């Protein structure tokens, strides 16, 4: 009797649908709206071809219509899950209704974003054709239908209540068992292929409106899949197949330049290698911030140390030293010099903690920029050419392979930036390996203990100063290694690149945000966070001075709704959601 009353109270406490409609009517309306939204992509939306993507053509989607088409199909797919089709039911272990609402809203927001953009850029709603209005109305019908669906778990609770009333006991759900490797490995590979396709499409968006629509739908879809439980299941699957997932991820990343052929191939490859440099540097910062818990606000200076060191010994025409080391020697020297600077900074400053350490590291970052700016032969010895920096850094030539020239591989042409992309991908793999091995070692456990409670760690025999100094040195070394590739990709290095904050990365503020929002203490978190921030900066450059405003709003939203990061560390996720865990 107690169980019956408890289930009755649980069912009564669950939120009711926002719009009171019979479930069958709501599901049919959602499906119909999704079909209309997807089908409208094959109609013309405007009379004028001046809007990017040429939405005047009927018969096939173009530009932003592809985004709407994808949104409609996803909404339809999860609506069909609600009909309890056995195969599709696997897509939403957490319940399809809330997922369907998010997908329907994401599709509607993307559609109306396009319609409003057409009206604003072309001068009014009169520029919309019937196809545009069909898309707008269809997307709203899908939202209304989705809002009328029962909330996730409500039908399950009713079924449990009926079983309890008639059988007199609470049903037990069977635990989820791992699938066969013959099933899981293909799922991992397909997931990585889909991720590569989504990333390639996003980076290849030719204009801001298309990237905006892509970003809206991707964000709502990620939210919906997290709500459905798909991401949780996928994370467990990846964890069980760690080796396959890691190797497959780097193979998929290595195939990225081959997906970028045509007029924008070099520009997209340039963006790709810049993302890798930024992400690898953020992963080095993750050792300092995510593992050891040390707030470093001047970390970008170590990237600059590696870049300047490599520029000075790589035979650049503007370098003070007329020497040319092999690249492997220049890379090792840049990493070593950065590591030494990490020790020199850490030795006198790691006696302080918290805000004081943050202020000291912020000062170091500014001191580095000012010093290299003054080593111009006037204010100091001529080492770095001051504000104009070191230019004309030659392209790499390793074992006869010229990184500055395009190369043909069958039907594919790999340009200069694609060559450096593959090189930086190798460096990123090394940095990921170092980070992963360090995390799972005795040293990594000591860093985590210091991060959680340095006083308690010291009482347990951990030498806090030594391990914090090691974190600073290793993080600086990895940043310096990335800097040696950075200077060759950009042909030059100038002091103003290495600031605490600015409109463009890399800078310390963006690096720290990439680590925090991506997920501190994880391998993939900073990589995802860095990719997100760099893409936002590159694709939304038309915002100019409003970029920092958007950056700030993004930080606020993430700290409010996802404080543990996009890919959270399990311990941090439990800490941030301790109240919800206790209630469960």
Task: Check which CATH number belongs to the domain holding 366 and give it.
Answer: 1.10.3470
Mean pLDDT, range 398-416, rounded to an integer: 80
Most confident of 291-300, 426-435, 565-574: 426-435
Whether residue 561 sits in one domain with residue 440: yes
pLDDT at 183 over 80: no
In a domain, 264, yes or no: yes
Residue 514: both structure tokens together: 């990439």
Domain count, the chain: 2
* Predicted local distance difference test score (pLDDT) of residue 170: 37
pLDDT above 70 coverage of the chain, percent: 84
* Predicted local distance difference test score (pLDDT) of residue 336: 93
Mean pLDDT, range 526-552, rounded to an integer: 78
If pLDDT is split at 50, 70 and 90, which confidence band does 10 have?
very low
In a domain, 191, yes or no: no
In a domain, 209, yes or no: no
Query: 22-33 pLDDT, tens per residue?
Result: 778 888 899 999
pLDDT at 545 over 70: no
* Predicted local distance difference test score (pLDDT) of residue 184: 79
| Interior angle at CA 527, CA 329 and CA 305, nearest 5 | 35
pLDDT above 90 coverage of the chain, percent: 17
pLDDT at 381 over 70: yes
| Nearby residues of 426 by Cβ (< 8 Å), 6 or more positions away | none
pLDDT at 173 over 70: no
In a domain, 193, yes or no: no
- Maximum CA extent, the chain: 91
* Predicted local distance difference test score (pLDDT) of residue 235: 81
Burial (CB count <10 Å: 0-12, 13-18, 19+), residue 190: exposed
pLDDT at 297 over 70: yes
Residue 499 and residue 348: Cα distance in Å, rounded?
A: 23
* Predicted local distance difference test score (pLDDT) of residue 464: 80
Residue 540 and residue 546: Cα distance in Å, rounded?
A: 10
Q: What is the CA radius of gyration of the chain?
A: 27
Whether residue 327 sits in one domain with residue 447: yes
* Predicted local distance difference test score (pLDDT) of residue 110: 93
DSSP 19-71: S---HHHHHHHHHHHHHHHHHHTTS--BS-TTSTT-TT--SS--THHHHHHHH
Q: Which residue has the higher pLDDT, 20 or 559?
A: 559
* End-to-end Cα spacing for the chain: 21
Q: How much is the mean pLDDT over the chain?
A: 81
Query: 38-90 pLDDT, tens per residue?
Result: 999 999 998 888 888 888 888 888 888 999 999 999 999 888 887 666 666 66
If pLDDT is split at 50, 70 and 90, which confidence band does 542 have?
low
pLDDT at 162 over 50: no
The domain in which residue 411 lies consists of 255-583
In a domain, 158, yes or no: no
In a domain, 159, yes or no: no
The residues pairing with 545 across neighbouring beta strands, listed in sequence order, are: none
Residue 138 and residue 142: Cα distance in Å, rounded?
A: 6
Whether residue 272 sits in one domain with residue 141: no
* Predicted local distance difference test score (pLDDT) of residue 136: 92
pLDDT at 94 over 60: no
In a domain, 487, yes or no: yes
Whether residue 286 sits in one domain with residue 145: no
SS3 per-residue string spanning 362-425: HHHHHHHHHHHHHCECCCCCECCCHHHCECCCCCCEECCEECCCCEEECCEEECHHHHHHHHHH
Query: Nearest-CA neighbor of 150 among 96, 103, 104, 107?
Result: 96
In a domain, 249, yes or no: no
Whether residue 275 sits in one domain with residue 134: no
Instruction: Check: CB of residue 421 under 8 Å from CB of residue 270.
Output: no
Q: Which residue has the higher pLDDT, 94 or 479?
A: 479
Query: 335-366 pLDDT, tens per residue?
Result: 999 999 988 888 887 777 777 888 888 888 88
Query: 120-137 pLDDT, tens per residue?
Result: 888 888 888 888 999 999
Residue 17 and residue 394: Cα distance in Å, rounded?
A: 64
pLDDT at 477 over 90: yes
Q: Residue 187 — left, alpha, or beta (φ > 0 → left; ψ -120 to 50 → alpha)? A: alpha
Query: 265-278 pLDDT, tens per residue?
Result: 888 888 889 999 99
CB count within 10 Å of CB 378 equals 9
Residues across the chain? 584
Mean pLDDT, range 418-443, rounded to an integer: 89
């Amino acid at each position: 009797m107690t169980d019956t009353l408890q289930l009755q109270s649980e069912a009564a406490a669950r939120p009711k649908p926002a719009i009171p409609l019979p479930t069958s009517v709501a599901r049919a309306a959602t499906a119909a709206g999704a079909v209309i939204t997807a089908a409208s992509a094959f109609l013309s939306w405007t009379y004028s071809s001046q809007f990017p993507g040429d939405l005047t053509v009927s018969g096939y989607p173009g530009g932003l219509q592809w985004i709407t088409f994808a949104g409609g199909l996803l909404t339809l797919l999860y609506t069909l899950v609600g009909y309890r089709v056995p195969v599709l039911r696997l897509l939403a272990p957490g319940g399809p209704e809330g997922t369907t609402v998010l997908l329907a809203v994401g599709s509607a927001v993307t559609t109306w974003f396009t319609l409003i953009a057409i009206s604003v850029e072309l001068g009014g709603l009169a520029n919309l054709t019937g196809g545009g209005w069909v898309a707008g109305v269809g997307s709203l019908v899908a939202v209304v239908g989705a809002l009328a669906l029962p909330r996730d778990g409500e039908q399950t609770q009713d079924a449990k209540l009926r079983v309890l009333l008639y059988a007199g006991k609470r049903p037990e759900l069977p635990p989820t068992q791992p699938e066969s490797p013959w099933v899981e490995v293909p799922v991992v590979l397909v997931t990585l292929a889909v991720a590569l396709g989504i990333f390639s499409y996003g980076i290849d968006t030719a204009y801001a409106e298309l990237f905006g629509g892509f970003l809206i739908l991707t964000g709502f879809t990620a939210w919906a899949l997290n709500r459905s439980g798909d991401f949780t299941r996928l994370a467990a699957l990846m964890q069980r197949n760690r080796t396959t997932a890691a190797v497959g991820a780097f193979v998929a990343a290595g195939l990225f330049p081959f997906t970028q052929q045509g007029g924008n191939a070099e520009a997209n490859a340039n963006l790709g290698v810049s993302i890798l440099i930024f992400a690898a540097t953020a992963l080095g910062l993750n050792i300092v911030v995510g593992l050891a818990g040390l707030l470093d606000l001047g970390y970008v200076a170590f990237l600059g140390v590696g870049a300047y060191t490599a520029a000075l010994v790589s035979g650049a025409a503007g370098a003070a030293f007329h020497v040319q080391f092999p690249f492997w020697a220049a890379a090792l020297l840049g990493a070593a010099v950065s590591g030494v600077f990490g020790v020199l900074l850490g030795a006198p400053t790691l006696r302080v903690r918290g805000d004081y350490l943050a202020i000291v590291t912020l000062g170091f970052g500014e001191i580095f920029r000012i010093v290299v700016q003054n080593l111009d032969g006037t204010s100091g010895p001529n080492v770095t050419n001051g504000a104009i920096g070191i230019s004309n850094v030659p392209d790499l030539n390793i074992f006869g392979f010229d990184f500055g020239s395009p190369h043909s591989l069958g039907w594919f042409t790999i340009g200069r930036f694609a060559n450096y992309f593959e090189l930086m991908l190798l460096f990123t793999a090394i940095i990921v390996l170092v980070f992963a091995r360090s995390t799972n070692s005795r040293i990594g456990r000591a860093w985590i203990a210091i991060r959680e409670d340095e006083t308690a760690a010291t009482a347990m025999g951990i030498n806090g100063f030594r391990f914090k100094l090691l974190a600073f040195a290793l993080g600086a070394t990895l940043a310096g290694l990335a800097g040696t590739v950075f200077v060759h990709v950009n042909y030059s290095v100038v002091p103003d690149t290495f600031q605490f904050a600015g409109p463009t990365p890399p800078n310390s503020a963006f690096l720290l945000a990439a680590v925090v929002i991506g997920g501190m203490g994880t391998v993939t978190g900073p990589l995802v966070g860095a990719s997100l921030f760099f893409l936002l900066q590159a694709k939304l450059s038309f915002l100019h001075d409003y970029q920092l405003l958007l950056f700030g709003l993004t930080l606020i939203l993430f700290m409010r709704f996802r404080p543990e990061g996009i890919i959270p560390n399990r311990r941090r996720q439990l800490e941030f959601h301790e109240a919800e865990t206790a209630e469960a």
